[in-house]
Chains A and B, each alone.
Chain A
Amino acid sequence: MEAVAPKPQVRRFDFRHVVDSERLLGILMLAPAVLFVFLLTGVPFFYAIYLSLNTTIAGRFDYSFVGLQNYIDILQSSLFRRSLANTFIFTIISQVLVLVLAKILALALANQFRGRNLLRFLILLPWAAPIALSTIGWKWMFDSQYSVVNWLLRALHIIGPYDFPQWLGEPHLAMAAVIFVHVWRMLPFATVILLAGMTSIPQDVMDAAAVDGANFWTRLVHILIPLMLPIMSVALLFGVVFTFTDMGVVYVLTRGGPPVNATHVLASWAFQIGIISNDLGQGAAISLFLFPVLLIASIFMLRLASRTDVGV
């Protein structure tokens, strides 16, 4: 058949036919995943907005519409404002630290040396381990009496022999502890992303700069960092989203204390109000305060994706 007909026409016909059936096949293969994800994220999201405009408690399915009352109540609560501020403090401080430390660590790991794979595995542990379990480890290390951290500090004479800092018993130290655990957890993730970005920079660019007499800092500031800006933004965006919306660290480490609400974040406060106190309407409203940050992060991701023309 192909031998007889003029070639271009056959191809064209085949092509169009294939495209039509392929698009149908494509939609059929994609639809179940899209539908499933939408039903479990899109629908609950709109339901959350509906809940936040009503007064309703768990176990009963009657709603009374209260408009923006839940939001007004929340904003007037000093406990809520505290947790909102904490969320920002935790996220900003920890992400700045993570970016700086990850950059240093990635620069070191970019070198080839013996034992690199073992070290990479050890550095990766905090990211791979379930956060609720590793935070339990930190809770023990920050114990009021048997803290190994304090023991080390005493042994190194950084604190006096009879000092027992209450890491989780004093508001400022507890804040520091939560930030520290977040940094510890996100550092490996940011490092491996930066490392991947670094190895993708063509070596000849770096070599050319070195030949031109650029020293380490010049190369870092003028070549490495500008070239790595997109990948650094990826690491930062993920870091911000994961830290801003996390409640595992606070819930396991301090339960929001000490004594009450000193370290609560938006997510753990929403859990406290929505699930423990059964006020679904207010709980949903608190959770929705996470959304603007997510939205901004998503827009940045999309812009990043369109600039690099392939994907996120």
Chain B
Amino acid sequence: MSLNRKLATRLLVYGIAIGFALLSAFPFFWMVITAFKANRDLYNPTNNPFLFNEPPTLDHIRLLFFNTPYVRWLGNTSLVGIIVVLITVVLAVPAGYSLARLIGRWGERLAIMIFLAYLIPPTLLFIPLSRVISLLGLQDSLWSLVLVYPSFTVPFCTWLMMGFFKSIPLELEDAALVDGCSRLGALVRIIFPISISGILTTVIFAFTLSTQEFVYALTFISSSAHKTISVGVPTDLIRGDVFYWGSLMAAALLPSVFIALIYNAFLDRFIAGITGGALK
């Protein structure tokens, strides 16, 4: 390839990548601008919206944190997330190991069935589940989410853990077994300790999946005090017809960036989980 063509290719690659990055990130950039803009500036259509025509303000942030249940929603979301993570780890880690090593021929088929359960969308089941929740007396309670969220985190994380366990060399367990460990002993003493990074992936994805969830939370939770951020922000920060855009954007920005950062760090494992054998 001539130097000129190389340069042209390089420019094209940069152009495409930067163009898409701008498109992807623009709403978040816009949230930042809006969150710090004084109302008088925000609601003046003749102003250039990209500039701070008035000095930036912390009013929206203050309103969000001190005059709305936002902090409470953050707390609710974290609480649900943490308990869901615990349930998911307890159920999915042993299940993943079992599918990878113990079940044998059936493992493969069962694993795919379990993975397909991850594809069952909340919008297919939210109506019957809303009745189950009210039968259990859990309507408008965070426990309804704690109960239901593992139905999609467990299949996904079982699949991830199965892939992870398959990547551990068999010799390691065999050595332990030969040394007189029982299978369970080998698991607890050898396998689980070296699987910490795999389990951490499960923790991250169970947490992000439960934070992103919208439909179940919208259906089961009605009072403001029990909402999660995903539902509280789009439904409760709008009073009648009045949108508190500055506060809304700040409210949307914080969790989005937080989740995107942890997500990004574990992206490769997510991809490996999703694509699995289609790459081989």
Chain A residues at the B interface, C-beta cutoff of 8 Å: 18-19, 21-23, 25-27, 29-30, 32-34, 36-37, 40-41, 44-45, 47-48, 51, 58-59, 61, 101, 104-105, 107-109, 111, 113, 116, 119-138, 140-141, 143, 145-146, 148, 151, 184, 187-188, 192-193, 196-197, 200, 230-231, 233-234, 238, 241-242, 245-248, 251-252, 266-267, 270-271, 274-275, 280, 283-284, 287-288, 290-291, 294, 297-298, 301-302, 304-305, 308-312
Chain B residues bordering chain A, tally (CB within 8 A)? 104
- Chain B residue numbers with a CB within 8 Å of A252 are 234
User: Among the interface residues B177, B233, B252, which one has the most CB atoms of the partner chain A within 10 A?
Assistant: B252
Report chain B residues within 8 Å CB of A288.
124
Q: Is the CB of B94 within 8 A of A113?
A: no
B158 on interface, CB distance cutoff 8 Å:
yes
A278 → B minimal CB distance (Å) = 10
Q: Verify if B116 is at the interface (C-beta below 8 Å from A).
A: yes
A146 close to B43 (CB less than 8 A): yes
Docked CA distance A266–B101 (Å): 41
A230 CA to B234 CA, complexed, in Å: 38
**Most chain A beta-carbon neighbours within 10 Å: one of B10, B251, B280:** B280
Determine how close the nearest CB of chain A comes to the CB of B194; give it in whole angstroms.
Answer: 18
Bound together, the chains give a CA A59 to CA B135 distance in angstroms of: 9
B231 contacts chain A at the CB level, 8 A cutoff: yes
B212 touches A184 (CB 8 A): no
From A29, A266, A308, give the contact of B98 (CB < 8 A): A29
Q: Which residue of A lies closest to B149 (CB)?
A: A40
List, sorted by A's number, 9 A–B pairs whose CB atoms are closer than 8 Å.
A124-B260, A125-B28, A133-B229, A196-B272, A231-B278, A287-B123, A287-B125, A290-B123, A298-B116
Given A37-B114, A116-B17, A197-B275, answer yes or no on A132-B45 (Cβ-Cβ < 8 Å): no
Q: Is B129 an interface residue (CB 8 A)?
A: yes
B111 touches A44 (CB 8 A): no
Taking the nearest CB of chain A, how far is it from the CB of B50, in angstroms?
A: 8
Query: Contact at B259–A40, with CB atoms within 8 Å?
Result: no
Q: How many contacts between A and B, using CB within 8 angstroms? A: 332
Which 10 pairs, one residue from A and one from B, show the smallest C-beta to C-beta distance?
A310-B277, A26-B102, A129-B256, A245-B121, A40-B151, A267-B123, A33-B95, A29-B94, A128-B260, A133-B252
The segment from B19-27, B53-61, B62-70, B195-203 found at the interface with A is B19-27
Are A29 and B123 within 8 A (Cβ)? no
Chain A residues, CB < 8 A from B212: 130-131
CA distance A109 to B15 in the complex (A): 11
Interface string of B33-47 (1 = CB under 8 A from A): 010000000110100
B residues touching A (Cβ–Cβ < 8 Å)? Answer: 9-10, 12-14, 16-18, 20-25, 27-28, 30-31, 34, 42-43, 45, 49, 90-92, 94-95, 97-99, 101-104, 108, 110-112, 114-117, 119-121, 123-132, 134-135, 147-148, 150-151, 154-155, 158, 163, 177, 183-184, 208, 211-212, 214-215, 218-219, 229-231, 233-234, 243, 245, 248-249, 251-252, 255-257, 259-260, 263-264, 267, 271-272, 274-280
| A21 and B275 form a contact (CB under 8 A) | no
- Whether A105 contacts B20 by the Cβ 8 Å rule is yes
B residues less than 8 Å from A241 (CB atoms)? 119, 121
Q: Which of B134, B245, B256, B272 has the most A CB atoms < 10 Å from its CB? A: B256
* Bound: A283/B94 CA distance, A: 37
- Chain B min CB distance to A267 (Å): 4
Contact B13 A58 (CB under 8 A): no
User: Are B127 and A312 in contact, CB atoms less than 8 angstroms apart?
Assistant: no
Question: Which A residues lie within 8 Å of B42 (CB)?
Answer: 146
Contact residues in B for A291 (Cβ distance below 8 Å): 124
B130 touches A58 (CB 8 A): yes
Across the interface, name the chain B residue whose C-beta is closest to A135. B234
A26 and B267 contacting across the interface, CB-CB below 8 Å: no
Asked if B125 contacts A44 (CB within 8 A), the reply is yes
* Minimal beta-carbon separation of A39 from chain B (angstroms): 8
Q: Contact between A290 and B124 (Cβ–Cβ < 8 Å)? A: yes
Which of B12, B102, B121, B128: most chain A Cβ within 10 A? B128
B127 touches A104 (CB 8 A): no
Contact of A108 with B127 at beta-carbon distance under 8 Å, contacts A130-B211, A188-B24, A200-B279 already known: no
Indicate the member of B13, B158, B231 with the most A CB atoms within 10 Å.
B13
- Give complex CA distance A36, B30 in Å: 42
Residues from chain A with Cβ under 8 Å of B218 in the complex: 251, 271
B104 surroundings in chain A (CB, below 8 A)? 19, 23, 26
In the complex the two chains form, what is the Cα distance from A287 to B127 in whole Å? 8
Which residue from A48, A133, A245, A312 sits with its C-beta under 8 Å from B255? A133
Do residues B124 and A245 form an inter-chain contact, with CB atoms below 8 A? Answer: yes
- When distances are taken between beta carbons in the complex, the residues of chain B under 8 Å from A107 are 16
Question: Which residues of the other chain, A, contact B243 by a CB distance below 8 angstroms?
Answer: 140
Give min CB distance, B229 to chain A, whole Å. Answer: 7
Write out the residue numbers on chain B whose beta carbons fall within 8 Å of the beta carbon of A290: 121, 123-124
B249–A137 CB distance below 8 A: yes
A121 to B266 alpha-carbon distance, docked (Å): 12
Complex contact A22–B183 (CB within 8 A): yes
Are A148 and B20 interface neighbours, CB within 8 A?
no
